[in-house]
């Protein structure tokens, strides 16, 4: 069973939902009306945090599950949790200033690469 990986998947989705709600809150706070996606730096950063999280999810979630299937649930979940932590650090930094997004981006990027590399490595090893 993949209970830990399922939990991390649900946490990742919950974090993404949080970023969506943050964009809505930021619209109200800054006065940026739908359908605009620019106009106030605080809103634009909130919007980019949400969009960037969405951009990474199709990379991370399949890699997370393939890693869990081919290598192990606990290790996949641990690396997936690091990805979420990286996204939170990214959120906190980027919310303050665009220049502060780097540490969170690096954490989540390394976790995503680890999941993808581990999954592809395990699959290839089984093919040979």
Any idea what the CATH number is for the domain that residue 70 is in?
1.20.120.550
Q: Identify the pLDDT of residue 22.
A: 98
**Which residues have C-beta within 8 Å of that of residue 46, sequence separation ≥ 6?**
19, 22, 23, 25, 26, 95
Per the structure, the complete domain to which residue 37 belongs is given by: 3-127
Burial class (CB in 10 A: 0-12, 13-18, 19+), 44: middle
User: Any residues with CB less than 8 A from the CB of 107 and at least 6 apart, and which?
Assistant: 82, 83, 85, 86, 89, 90
pLDDT digits (tens, 9 = 90+) for 8-43: 999 999 999 999 999 999 999 999 999 999 999 999
> Is the pTM value of this prediction over 0.85?
yes
User: What pLDDT digit, counting tens, does each position of 83-102 carry?
Assistant: 999 999 999 999 999 999 99
> What is the overall mean pLDDT for the chain?
98
Domain count, the chain: 1
């Amino acid at each position: 069973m993949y209970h830990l990986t399922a939990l991390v998947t649900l946490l990742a989705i919950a974090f993404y939902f949080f970023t969506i709600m943050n964009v809505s809150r930021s619209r109200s706070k800054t006065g940026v009306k739908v359908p605009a996606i620019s106009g106030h730096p605080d809103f634009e950063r909130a919007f980019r945090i949400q969009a960037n999280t969405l951009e990474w999810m199709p990379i991370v979630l399949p890699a997370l599950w393939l890693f869990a299937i081919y290598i192990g649930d606990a290790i996949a979940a641990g690396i997936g949790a690091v990805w979420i932590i990286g996204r939170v650090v990214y959120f906190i930094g980027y919310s303050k200033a665009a220049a502060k997004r780097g540490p969170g981006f690096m954490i989540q990027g390394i976790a995503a690469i680890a999941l993808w590399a581990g999954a592809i490595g395990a699959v290839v090893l089984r093919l040979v």
